[in-house]
A and B are shown apart, each in its own frame.
Chain A
Amino acid sequence: MKVRVLYFAWLRERIGLGREEVETSAETVADLVEELRAREERYAAAFADMGAVRCALDQELVPLETSLGDAREVAFFPPMTGG
């Protein structure tokens, strides 16, 4: 299936783009991360420390083990620093 993947803050900078369409067979967000990591070094670098990565599925914060289901949008970003 095809999902829109978004990157923010230093993840966006390390990967070098803010969004892309990804064809994936991943079952969970963590599986998708594994697929992305295997693509190129810049992805492996961005996802090196998953303790520093948060994820949203269709704009809702979720744990990495969450099933992708029929989500259309997956976002990766560092812990938020608003306020």
Chain B
Amino acid sequence: MSNPSPSPAPQVSPRIVVTEADFDLGAEAARLEAGSDTGAVVTFTGRVRDVSGGLRRMTIEHYPGMTEKALRTIAEEAAERWPLSGVTIVHRHGALSPGDRIMMVGTASRHRDAAFAAASFLMDYLKSRAPFWKKEETADGMGWVAAREADEAALDRWRDRDAD
């Protein structure tokens, strides 16, 4: 398919990793430091949180194929909005325990404002636009984590920005 794009292709090639295994946060951050004009690297890590005190296990299901595409689309969108020299999304699936790392996003730019904003954008979008589903196992049984309205509403602040 060769649809003409309304905006030029982003300079940066996003790093997208979907994996069952844990990842090396330090190595991912170091990878974003490439380039002598990269003045800012921001990373965010999400971990399995035991809210109720009774969480035994979390299992993350995903949609192989669509997951990678959706994450790449989100990362490319970030790279079009901010001047990034690097963008990384790593997301795990499968069985996880409380305290385990679930995912990370990383952004690199000349200045911190762009890196922070892009990382925040990536998080907001991947929460409700990437096909992952969390299931929790507690002493009371198993249950799917419900999507939060606040997560969907969080996308509005980026849409509002479009109208500026």
- Looking at the complex, which one of B65, B123, B147 makes contact with A79 (CB distance below 8 Å)? B147
Size category, B interface = 20 to 34
Residues of B within 8 A of A81 (CB): 127, 132-134, 144-147
A59 interface residue (CB < 8 Å to B): yes
New contact pairs (9) apart from A75-B131, A80-B131, A82-B60, CB-CB < 8 Å: A8-B131, A10-B144, A59-B63, A59-B70, A77-B63, A78-B147, A81-B127, A81-B147, A82-B131
Inter-chain CA distance A79–B155, complex, in Å, is 14
Nearest Cβ on chain B to A28's Cβ, whole angstroms: 20
Over the window 47-83 of chain A, the binary record of Cβ atoms lying under 8 Å from chain B Cβ atoms (1 yes, 0 no) is 0000000001001110000000000000101111111
Partner among B63, B65, B70, B129 whose Cβ is within 8 Å of the Cβ of A8: B63
Interface residue? A38 (CB, 8 A): no
The CA of A83 and the CA of B58, in the complex, are separated in Å by 13
Cβ of B102 < 8 Å from any Cβ of A?
yes
Residues of the B chain whose Cβ atoms lie less than 8 Å from the Cβ of A10: 144
Instruction: Write the residues of chain A forming the contact surface with B, with a CB cutoff of 8 angstroms.
Output: 6, 8-10, 12, 56, 59-61, 75, 77-83
Q: Specify the main secondary structure of chain B where it touches its partner.
A: mixed
Partner of A9, one of B46, B65, B129, B133: B133
CB-CB nearest in chain B for A82: B132
The answer on a CB contact under 8 Å between A80 and B46 is: no
Contact A56 B131 (CB under 8 A): yes
Q: Across the interface, do A77 and B133 meet the contact criterion of CB distance under 8 Å?
A: yes
Question: Nearest-CB distance from B52 to chain A (Å)?
Answer: 16
Which residue in B65, B127, B144, B152 is a CB contact (below 8 Å) of A82? B127
20 contacts between A and B (CB under 8 A): A6-B63, A8-B133, A56-B63, A59-B63, A59-B69, A59-B70, A60-B66, A75-B131, A77-B131, A78-B144, A80-B133, A81-B127, A81-B132, A81-B134, A81-B146, A82-B91, A82-B128, A82-B131, A83-B130, A83-B132
